Amino acid sequence: SPRIGILALQGDVREHVDALTHAGAEAVPVRRRSELDAVDGIVIPGGESTTMSHLLTVFDLFDPLRERLADGLPAYGSCAGMIMLAGTILDTRPDARHLDALDITVRRNAFGRQVQSFETDLEVTGITDRPDAGGPMRAVFIRAPWVESVAPDVEVLATVPDGPAAGRIVAVRQGDVVATSFHPEVTGDRRVHEYFVEMVRR
Cβ atoms of residues 104 and 90 within 8 Å: no
Does the annotation count 26 as an active-site position? no
Shortest CB 72 distance to ligand GLN, Å:
25
Shorter beta-carbon distance to ligand GLN: residue 49 or 174:
49
Coil/strand/helix, residue 26: strand
Single residue of 47, 74, 77, 126 touching ligand GLN by CB under 6 A:
47
Based on the number of CB atoms within 10 Å of its own CB, is 125 exposed (0-12), middle (13-18) or buried (19 or more)? middle
Under the binding rule (CB under 6 A), the answer on residue 143 touching ligand GLN is yes
Does the annotation count 79 as an active-site position? yes
**Cα distance between residue 147 and residue 179, in whole Å:** 10
104 carries a ligand binding annotation: no
Residues 55-94 that bind ligand GLN (CB under 6 A): 79-80, 83
Does the annotation count 183 as an active-site position? yes
| DSSP-derived secondary structure for 101-155 | -EEEEEETTTTTTT-SEEEEEE--TTTTTSTT--SPEEEEEES--EEEEE-TTPE
Shortest CB 9 distance to ligand GLN, Å:
13
Please tell me which residue in 15, 183, 193, 194 is annotated as part of the active site.
Answer: 183
97 carries a ligand binding annotation: no
Shorter beta-carbon distance to ligand GLN: residue 12 or 103:
12
Single residue of 21, 109, 125, 187 touching ligand GLN by CB under 6 A:
109
Assign 3-state DSSP to the chain and report helix, strand, coil percentages, each to 5.
25, 30, 45
Cβ atoms of residues 126 and 86 within 8 Å: no
**Cα distance between residue 60 and residue 165, in whole Å:** 37
Shorter beta-carbon distance to ligand GLN: residue 83 or 171:
83
**Cα distance between residue 193 and residue 103, in whole Å:** 22
Please tell me which residue in 15, 16, 79, 194 is annotated as part of the active site.
Answer: 79
Backbone φ and ψ for 113, nearest 5 degrees, come out as -70, -30
Residues 19-38 that bind ligand GLN (CB under 6 A): none
Coil/strand/helix, residue 172: strand
108 carries a ligand binding annotation: yes
Shortest CB 28 distance to ligand GLN, Å:
21
Name the residues that contact ligand GLN, by CB under 6 A: 46-49, 79-80, 83, 108-109, 142-143
Q: Which residues are annotated as a binding site for L-glutamine?
A: 47-49, 108, 142-143
Active site residues: 79, 183, 185
